[in-house]
Structure 1
Amino acid sequence: MVDWSGGNDRGPTPKKDAIWVCAARDGVTDAPIYLRNRQLAEKWIRAFLAEEVDAGHRVLAGFDFAFGYPDGFGKALTGSDDPFAVWDWFAQRVKDAPDANNRFDLAGEINAMFPGIGPFWGNGRRHDIPHLPRKGSAREGHGLPEKRAAEAQAKGAFPVWQLAGAGAVGSQVIMGLPVLARLRAEFRDALRVWPFEPLDASIAIVEIWPSLIAKAVTATMPEGQIKDAHQVALLAQTLSRLPATQLAAMLDIPYTAEGSILGLGHVSLLEETAMAPAAPRPLKNDCFAMPQGAHWTPVDDALEHLRSQLRPVTGIENLPIAQVAGRFLAGDVEAARAHPPAPNAAVDGYGFAGPAAEGMQRMPLITGRAAAGAPFSGAVPEGRAIRILTGANLPEGVDTVILQEDVTATPSEIAFQGPLKKGANARKAGEDMVAGQTILTSGRRLSPADLGTMAAAGIGSVAVRQCLRVGVLSTGDELQDPGMPADAGQIYDANRPMLSALIKHWDYTLVDLGRAPDDQTKLRAVLDQRAADCDVILSSGGASAGDEDHISTLLEGTGSFALWRIAVKPGRPLALGLWNNTPVFGLPGNPVAAMVCALIFARPALRVLAGGGWTEPQSYQLPAAFSKSKKAGRREYLRARITDGEVEIFTSEGSGRISGLSWATGLVALNDPAQNIKPGDPVTYIPFYSFEP
């Protein structure tokens, strides 16, 4: 989506009433891009379309200016009712440079072709222009309708005749149609224009009006965001979310030489789509089905299966960058401006045109100085210097800075010992980031440093995944809440507080599902009532194939059940399935096995479901401080900690000894083959802090 401008170059700093472009795919937007003039915008759009066509993609490209004029204008101007004849007429006559164009003069020349006064008005120049009145009320007798049918239907839309003043769109049309004419010529075989042509090619060019979704723009715009940037991002996101049938209905209108605005008659649908959280696609019903094969599944095979089958289940929202720490990016982020935006000084000192020769150098000082936020507006003559402070833009004529500590200065001159190479102590524009550069990629978990990077690149808000809601459920008649009286046949529920704390540590939203007894009817009721509150559920207990393993039994009835017998110690059974499209991970009831399986299997799976990429925990090779003989056939994880640079393991490998988790600072992973470990042998140690989200 493109928010166009009929004015001159707007400078390097992103501004309103400028050109803004934003692309979206499947409801995920890239960062809006600021383009300071039409020349840069046309170059960017041409390159974008070429890249998408080469990739075999289809593109709906919307421009927010009229593609045609009211009935009768084209015939009078070109002798034809073909709207493309009007495009070509303007393309041949518009003269456009970053700092000047001839739109007002051209409008006056067109007015001279019509009887009376008009139809164009709004002379934005200081001097009078023949045949172009400054006020619309001065027009008369030109014989053309005031509005197209589209403007008459779109409440609040301005007519195409007004060239200057609040709400004027006429200049955008005159300066935009030549660009479309050139794009149409360049992409002749791949581009079609709506509603003038059948949309049977890779690129569909359509007319848009972001104010159709003005309510949604106002309701969702982050504080401090530039409206033009936000509205193209929101409209791009909205249109890319629409099902094909709904978009086709919007495009299905009769041919009209006046052109039309996409979405007229469908405003309610657009507003609802713009305001609604992005709905993720549900997981496939067989996503957990392990391929037929060995009775016991190796750990690496189980992990690879999760990695290949899972995808994000969270929605998407646009938030100010101040609110997105810890969230996962829903799309790539591109720099809105260069950083630094202009060449600047890296130190306090004096600036001049380098290099400086060897030996004593003397330079006269000019009056004034350059400081950060207070640039010097003039030029520095060759052979002279200017006082400059750290972060200040280099004035014209300056490319080198010498440290103030290396200078002897008087009010009128500086002296220093050379040589000094050209460009010393000066930063180049964009040496860190350039506008349009991808600076962060989709799926990244945003850190405080990332927020600083985005802020420096002019990014005010980004599309992120909504926070993953993780339900934690314990099952078993034998369980009692900690702190409550318990008889000899009961044990305290250690899993739920342990797993709940783990979920909160991973920065997901905890949904405490409580405890459920060994009763299928009651357990079913809990799942039915609470599954909609969760994006994923972690249950513990009842995940094997015994009489009281009700999680497995219930999941088996969904048609999505998979009981994974994993060759791992501690652990083995994992029950997986979907309950009303919500994925359920049935962890072992033993606390040590539950924790290990949560770290090894649930942690990377939850990250993917939350919208992040699959990650492996960081491990280290360290010498063993223990002896162990391990049988072949399964992966073993031992509770361990480091003492004097060596890895020792907990005295008991019993999976019921939960205190070993508090004693340990990590795990030792012993691979599937048989091993005979002696003190000093290298072993793989995974610290608990490596199991981050």
Structure 2
Amino acid sequence: MRTVDEHLTDILGSVAVLPPLDLALLEAQGTVLAEPVSAPVPLPPFDNSAMDGYAVVAADIAAATETDPVTLPVVGDIVAGDSGVSAIRPGLTARIMTGAPLPAGADAVIPVEWTDGGNATVRVSRAAPAGNYIRRAGEDVVAGQVVVDAGTRLGAPQIGMIAAVGRSRVTVRPRPRVVVVSTGDELREPGSPLAHGQIWESNGYMLTAAVVEAGGVGYRQATVVDEPAKVLEMFEDQLVRADAIVTTGGVSMGTKDVVKEVLTGTGTVGFHKVRMRPGKPQGFGLLEDTPVFTLPGNPVSAYVSFQVFVRPALRAMQGLAPEPLPTVSAVLAEDVKSPAGLRHFMRGRLSFHRGSYAVTAADVQGSHQLGSLASANALIELPEDVEALPAGSHVDVMRLPS
């Protein structure tokens, strides 16, 4: 029997980083940047107005008050996108819009709310210092500055930043295409009627959603019955399009554990018992260089196995650090017990109060009990050498995706 760390090390030593792709910017959302992106010009590229108002020489309005406003001639309008070169002399003003380039000679912008809004002339009722409501060239980004680092997952702010520096395409590590397949004669599609001994298939839906949460592209395949020929045909079909394949069921010691039967001795796939609960039976290896993860069929075992083993591997395939779920230290709200020699991942509810975390274990911990997983927001990780911990003990807690 191998440890959790040994099995994860084997997996991470086998998966390869996906080759980079050149993608149009909007197609790159959710991918991981494979190159740093720099600004070719400063942002903003020119001094511009932060308000709708009037461009002025600050010294001209230094004495302006509500009771004694300063009146200035308005010599023109400057709008956003104006490509002409404009200027004002002392004693004059120009009406200016937000984002419009500051005219030469002006050193402040007066919001229209500080004036009477005049067209030919304007009365200014408040003084302002030089630089008032001016966005200076380069105050956001200087020319040559790296604005998004390699290794960053591209969300909306990063996409906007890359567009702002003039890039329409980027080189990225793509989101892994992960095919998820559940096996078992007893499984039926949700929405269909059940006969005695049958259950609705849930693992495929759960793990496909988990793939998306981990940054991949999930493809749930129809359930495969426990027939070796059907299972083998499924693998042959999916290897064409998959960057990774995740199966659930058929990996333990039963007479119809056909995934184990079909894959034993195929590629580099091996099957092991791992010192963990839930999720002891595990399989992993490469088929034609494609990682294949064979997870247990019990829903909680499958989900915990995904988070512990598959999620770090998908991150590594994207060029990211193969980190576990975000982990915090929390105080146990009650006594807990754990099986000797196994790393125990207990479902729990994590809360934050007065600067610290507390966690309560779920009442039921059976590997088939999906209800307690659906209501959990954390996994309490108890080491192999721990058999019992009293309330008040500090434990590591993995925060589940919300």
Classify the TM-score, shorter chain: 0.7 to 0.9
Residue 327 of structure 1: aligned partner: 31
- Coordinate RMSD, CA, aligned: 3.4
Per chain length, whose mean CA-contact separation is higher, i.e. which structure has more relative contact order (CA < 8 Å, sep 6+)? 2
1:649 to 348, 354, 361: 361
- The reply to whether residue 486 of structure 1 matches residue 179 of structure 2 is no
- Contact 1:369–1:376 (CA<8 Å) still a contact in 2? no
- The reply to whether residue 427 of structure 1 matches residue 147 of structure 2 is no
Change (3 A) 1:339 1:479: same
- Contact 2:187–2:200 (CA<8 Å) still a contact in 1? yes
- The reply to whether residue 312 of structure 1 matches residue 4 of structure 2 is no
- Contact 2:20–2:34 (CA<8 Å) still a contact in 1? no
- Contact 2:36–2:150 (CA<8 Å) still a contact in 1? yes
Identity %: 31
Residue 450 of structure 1: aligned partner: 158
Residue 3 of structure 2: aligned partner: 297
**Which is richer in helix?**
1
Deviation readout 1:48-100 (Å, 9 max, x if unpaired): xxxxxxxxxxxxxxxxxxxxxxxxxxxxxxxxxxxxxxxxxxxxxxxxxxxxx
Report matched runs for 1:503-652 at 5 Å: 503-504=211-212, 508-544=216-252, 548-610=256-318, 614-630=322-338, 633-642=341-350, 646-652=358-364
- Rounded Cα–Cα distance in structure 2 between residues aligned with 1:672 and 1:618: 20
- State the SS of the aligned residue for 2:33: coil
- Contact 1:297–1:564 (CA<8 Å) still a contact in 2? no
1:332 CA displacement: 2.9
Ranges in structure 1 where 5+ consecutive residues have no aligned partner? 1-294
- Contact 2:58–2:128 (CA<8 Å) still a contact in 1? no
Report matched runs for 1:369-380 at 5 Å: 369-374=77-82, 377-380=85-88
- Rounded Cα–Cα distance in structure 2 between residues aligned with 1:637 and 1:356: 71
Amino acid at match of 2:89: P
- Rounded Cα–Cα distance in structure 2 between residues aligned with 1:405 and 1:477: 73
**Which is richer in strand?**
2
1:471 to 166, 179, 193: 179
Residue 402 of structure 1: aligned partner: 110
- Contact 1:551–1:575 (CA<8 Å) still a contact in 2? no
- Rounded Cα–Cα distance in structure 2 between residues aligned with 1:673 and 1:381: 80
Larger radius of gyration: 1
- Contact 2:307–2:324 (CA<8 Å) still a contact in 1? no
Amino acid at match of 1:571: G
Deviation readout 1:565-592 (Å, 9 max, x if unpaired): 4332211232111112221001112211
Amino acid at match of 1:459: R
Residue 56 of structure 2: aligned partner: 352
Report matched runs for 1:276-291 at 5 Å: none
Amino acid at match of 2:169: S
1:660 to 337, 361, 372: 372
- Rounded Cα–Cα distance in structure 2 between residues aligned with 1:533 and 1:409: 63
Deviation readout 1:374-431 (Å, 9 max, x if unpaired): 36632222454433222111111223323344457764465455562x3232112122
Change (3 A) 1:435 1:562: farther
Change (3 A) 1:493 1:415: closer
- Contact 1:473–1:540 (CA<8 Å) still a contact in 2? yes
Change (3 A) 1:357 1:492: closer
- Contact 1:590–1:655 (CA<8 Å) still a contact in 2? yes
Residue 37 of structure 1: aligned partner: none
TM-score scaled to structure 2, two decimals? 0.82
Aligned residues: 392
Residue 42 of structure 2: aligned partner: 338
TM-score scaled to structure 1, two decimals? 0.50
- State the SS of the aligned residue for 1:394: coil
Ranges in structure 2 where 5+ consecutive residues have no aligned partner? none
- Contact 1:576–1:585 (CA<8 Å) still a contact in 2? yes
